[in-house]
Amino acid sequence: MYRLGIDIGGTFTDCVLIGPGADGATYATSKALSTGDDPTSGVLAALTELSARVGVPLRELLAATERFGHGTTIGTNAVLERTGARVGLITTAGHGDALAIMRGHGRAAGRGIEDVFRVRGAAPPAPLIVPGAVLELHERVDAAGSVVVALDEARAAEAVAAFVERHRLTSVAVVFLWSLANPAHELAVEKIVAAEAPGVFVSLSSRVSPRLGEYERTVGTVLNGYVGPACTRYLSSMADRLAAEGLTAPLLVMQSSGGVVSATAAAEIALGTLDSGPTAGLTGTAALAAANRHRNVVATDMGGTSFDIGLVVNGEPVVADESVIDRYTYRLPHLDVRTTACGGGTIARRDPRTGALRVGPESAGSQPGPACYGRGGTDATVTDADVVLGLLRPESFLAGRMPLDEAAARAAVGRLADELGLGLEAAAAGILSVNNLRAATLIRQQTLERGLDPRDFVLYSYGGAGPVHAFGYAAEIGVREVLIPLGDGASTLSAYGIAAGDAARFVEMETALRAPFDDAALSAAIGDVTERARKALVDAGVFEEPRVDVWALMRYQEQLMHSLEVPVAEAGGAGLASRLVEGFLQEYAQRYGDSPAAAFQAAEVFALRARARVPGSVPQISGRPGGDVTGAAGRSAQVFWPDAGERLLTSVFDGERLGGLDRVTGPALVELPHTTVAVPRGATLTAEHGHFRLLLPSPEVGR
């Protein structure tokens, strides 16, 4: 039986197949151009290529597929391009402007630190709802969940019908204050819409994002209504076409939470598909990390314009609550993938004020792209610096399919070098240093903010521009061990994550339990959230018995903006409360030291988070046999290594011919069809289970 993972990206649709093998799983990939408006065609093209590669006819392949996972950007694109449904908002009287007011944060949310100072020129993001389509209903629930003003359902029905018609709505989002404490009024309106305006897509905030804070809940619910109808249409059409091709297994859809759910469930809570792309890479990393017995991993994905990082800590991918899309903030548990503008296309320039070398955040993108792409770009980029140094060889870029213009790279970097008063190579090495610092800073901020030392992590590096720079940014944070997962499969790691990831769902529940806790009340709440998570997974079309993990979201009760996740090891038993508080104190001290905690009073469990999952456990992949290192080492090149500060004779290996436990000693370049692994002097690279393991010489100064 096979597992299939398909990831639709902006340019390519990647496909991964994991099959049975004699010793460990076998693994195959394919790639096809994405087909914008009709993504299914691209998917079928990738599948057809895959079936050719493995020599199994498509129909047979699909019939023998037990799990078919799929990652889609259709929701994300609908938001960014504003092509979603005609959504209207139904909310509590007096609070219809919350979405427009954006807590006064619409100018700054999600913007980089150096941008935030520029106040003039900022404008609010385009609205998500049909302009003016807000219906305020007289109803009110208080913080305790008690009804203050009852909903007059007859009056509401009349108002809702007129509202849907007046604004020609295809979707409504229902968000009442305190529906997280008492969803009765939202449930009543759901029925009213079904009766008065059948066919209109309904999203309830108590279902989509039942967390404290009406603004973020409104955004989440409106976004769900905005992308829901399109996701529903798309996923059912995809399921139909795949079934027609012979797929019998249900179509599973990747969520930003790192798990997959059935297409039906994914369409209902479409919000979960937003930003699921970067998550899939981290999910793939987590699956591989488990197989490789790596407990703590920094996953780094460096592409053309951006650098994404995520953490796996104690075997679990780190989860975050808050997301920002186009300056709209919402809350939904998702794998915490952070991004900064630093990649191959990032532009380097001289800061006219200080004379310093600045790298980023502007990017040459893919059009015109780096100067060496020969598409008219003249700015020096990180990729141009790679070419100047010899880390990328023009004739073998993308396996020779896209020769690079070395002269253009040297000219671009040379102009900058002249402005800086540096030599050509020194300028190129400097570009890498600054770019690596920016990457390392993002990693350090995420680890240090959790009180973790990046030196205790293994770094996974993927994306086109990752493996060529990993030696630099790993050294900058003091990491010695780097894994290039799946060898050249790095660019399809997301598809792998979709194929290998767990079936999983998160459920969150506000609790507002304050210390000293009552063990019984706490146990009851934990039991409740556990049951809800189980049910959610069943609703998502997964019927196997899941494993349920529960975390208490805790803080000192006064610290509104703070949140620590404390794992709940056992749901019941005496001393549950004190165990939780103990766990909280330990985590707090690890992050902030003992001094600040001494003054605090009572801790609280303000919410519980449960994850029900059926592990998608994948056996270790068996890599290709090796033993022909000499045969793989065809050539050599003169490469300027930044640390050495000079050109060194460097062996160049064909990575596709490395396998088994082959070992390469730096300085070396290992070239793969979609990337190059740079192995500096003193480092070694070993092939292991289809991955490459890079061991850097000695720890650099790390902070």
Partner 1 sequence: MSHADSKVVWDGVARGYVPAEPLPIDPSLALHEAGTAEVDPVTFEVIRYALLNANVEHGQTLQRLCVSPVTMLTRDFQPSILTQRGELVFLGPYLQYFSNAQSLTVKWILEHRSADPGIAPGDMFLSNDPYVGTPHQPDTIVAAPVFTDGRLFCWVANVLHHSDIGGSVVGSFCVDAADIFTDPPAFPPFKIVEAGRLRPDMEQVFLRQSRLPNVVQMDLRAAISANTATVRKVEALIARYGADAVKTVMTRVLDAGEETFRQRLRQIPDGTWSHRLYAEASHTGDTGLYRYQLTVRKRGDELFVDNAGTDPQAGSINVTYAGLVGAFLSALTASLTPDLAGAYGGVYRLVHFDPVPGTLSCADFPAAVSPSGVFTMELLISLAGSVIAKMVACGPPELRDQALGPAQPHWYGTIIAGQLGSGAPYIAVNANNMIGALPAGSDTDGMDFGGHFWIPEGIASNVEETEQLYPMLCLFRRALPCGADGAGTWRGGRSITEAYVPWGTPGMAAALYIDDSFPKAVGPFGANPSSMGRVTIKHGVGLAERFAAGEVPQDVAALPGVEQPVDHKGPPLMLGPDSVIVWTGANNPGYGDPLARDPRDVARDTSQGWLDPAAATSVYGLVWDAEGAVDGAATAALRERRLAERLAAATPPVAGPPERAGSDVVLRPVGGELAVSLVDGRPAQWASLTGRALLGSVTDDYRSNCATRDTPVNDLALEFGTRPGRPGAAMLLREYLCPITGRRLTTELIRTGDTPVTDMLLAGEGR
Residues 323-362 within binding reach of partner 1 (CB under 8 A):
350-351, 353-359
Q: Please choose, from the candidates 275, 238, 236, the residue with its C-alpha nearest in 3D space to the C-alpha of residue 255.
A: 275
Residues 190-199: contacts with CB within 8 Å, 24+ apart?
Answer: 192/153, 192/156, 192/157, 192/160, 193/160, 193/164, 195/157, 196/157, 196/160, 196/161, 196/164, 197/160, 197/161, 197/164, 197/165, 197/169, 197/172
Least Å distance, CB 570 to partner 1, is 29
* Residues in 142-161 that interact with partner 1 by CB under 8 A: 142-144, 148-152, 155
Q: Does 102 bind partner 1 (CB under 8 A)?
A: yes
List, in order, residues 6 or more apart from 398 with CB less than 8 Å away: 673, 674
* Residues in 205-224 that interact with partner 1 by CB under 8 A: 212-216
Least Å distance, CB 29 to partner 1, is 37
**Residue 41: CB atoms within 10 Å:** 16
Smaller CB separation from partner 1, 332 or 629 = 332
Q: Does 556 bind partner 1 (CB under 8 A)?
A: yes
Q: Does 184 bind partner 1 (CB under 8 A)?
A: no
Least Å distance, CB 82 to partner 1, is 17
Binds partner 1 by CB under 8 A, chosen from 22, 23, 37, 119: 119
**By CB under 8 A, how many residues form the interface with partner 1?**
88
DSSP string, 529-583: HHHHHHHHHHHTT--SPPEEEEEEEEEETT-TT--EEEEES-S-STTHHHHHHHH
Least Å distance, CB 596 to partner 1, is 4
Least Å distance, CB 158 to partner 1, is 14
Query: In one letter, which amino acid is 392?
Result: L
Q: Which stretch binds partner 1 (CB under 8 A): 25-33, 122-130, 263-271, 337-345?
A: 122-130
Q: Is 557 exposed, middle or buried (0-12, 13-18, 19+ CB in 10 A)?
A: middle
Q: Which stretch binds partner 1 (CB under 8 A): 21-29, 293-301, 536-544, 589-597?
A: 589-597
Q: Which stretch binds partner 1 (CB under 8 A): 98-106, 364-372, 458-466, 520-528?
A: 98-106
Smaller CB separation from partner 1, 54 or 116 = 116
Binds partner 1 by CB under 8 A, chosen from 2, 27, 68, 178: 178
Least Å distance, CB 257 to partner 1, is 23
How many Å separate Cα 209 from the centre of its chain?
19
Smaller CB separation from partner 1, 107 or 241 = 107
Least Å distance, CB 338 to partner 1, is 13
- Alpha-carbon distance 401 to 115, whole Å? 38
The torsion angles phi and psi of 618, rounded to 5 degrees, stand at -115, 135
Binds partner 1 by CB under 8 A, chosen from 161, 184, 411, 422: 422
Least Å distance, CB 137 to partner 1, is 9
Q: Does 438 bind partner 1 (CB under 8 A)?
A: yes
Q: Which stretch binds partner 1 (CB under 8 A): 67-75, 333-341, 416-424, 650-658?
A: 416-424
Q: Does 441 bind partner 1 (CB under 8 A)?
A: yes
Q: Does 430 bind partner 1 (CB under 8 A)?
A: yes
User: DSSP H helical segments within 8-126, as ranges?
Assistant: 39-54, 58-63, 74-80, 98-101, 113-116
* Residues in 443-502 that interact with partner 1 by CB under 8 A: 445, 448-449
Q: Please choose, from the candidates 15, 30, 14, 9, the residue with its C-alpha nearest in 3D space to the C-alpha of residue 72.
A: 9
Structure tokens of 303?
Answer: 């592409």
Structure tokens of 564?
Answer: 């620590």
Least Å distance, CB 193 to partner 1, is 20
**Residue 23: CB atoms within 10 Å:** 8
The torsion angles phi and psi of 652, rounded to 5 degrees, stand at -115, 125
Question: CA separation (Å) from 194 to 87, 90, 266, 319?
Answer: 15, 14, 20, 35
Binds partner 1 by CB under 8 A, chosen from 31, 70, 140, 611: 140
Length of the chain: 703
Least Å distance, CB 450 to partner 1, is 11
Binds partner 1 by CB under 8 A, chosen from 96, 394, 541, 673: 96
Structure tokens of 331?
Answer: 């809350």
Question: CA separation (Å) from 167 to 127, 162, 192, 218, 473?
Answer: 15, 9, 17, 19, 52
Q: Does 80 bind partner 1 (CB under 8 A)?
A: no
- Alpha-carbon distance 298 to 301, whole Å? 10
Tell me if 185 sits within 8 A of 179, measured CB to CB. Answer: yes
* Residues in 364-393 that interact with partner 1 by CB under 8 A: none
The secondary structure of residue 510, as a DSSP letter, is E
Q: Which stretch binds partner 1 (CB under 8 A): 185-193, 361-369, 587-595, 668-676?
A: 587-595
Smaller CB separation from partner 1, 151 or 223 = 151
Binds partner 1 by CB under 8 A, chosen from 314, 601, 630, 698: 601
Binds partner 1 by CB under 8 A, chosen from 481, 600, 633, 637: 600
Question: CA separation (Å) from 685 to 335, 536, 652, 653?
Answer: 30, 44, 13, 11
Least Å distance, CB 95 to partner 1, is 6
Q: Does 81 bind partner 1 (CB under 8 A)?
A: no
Q: Does 684 bind partner 1 (CB under 8 A)?
A: no
Q: Which stretch binds partner 1 (CB under 8 A): 19-27, 123-131, 401-409, 519-527?
A: 123-131
Least Å distance, CB 349 to partner 1, is 11
Q: Does 166 bind partner 1 (CB under 8 A)?
A: no
- Pairing between β-strand 691-695 and β-strand 684-688 as defined by DSSP bridges: antiparallel
Q: Does 593 bind partner 1 (CB under 8 A)?
A: yes
Smaller CB separation from partner 1, 55 or 121 = 121
* Residues in 622-651 that interact with partner 1 by CB under 8 A: none
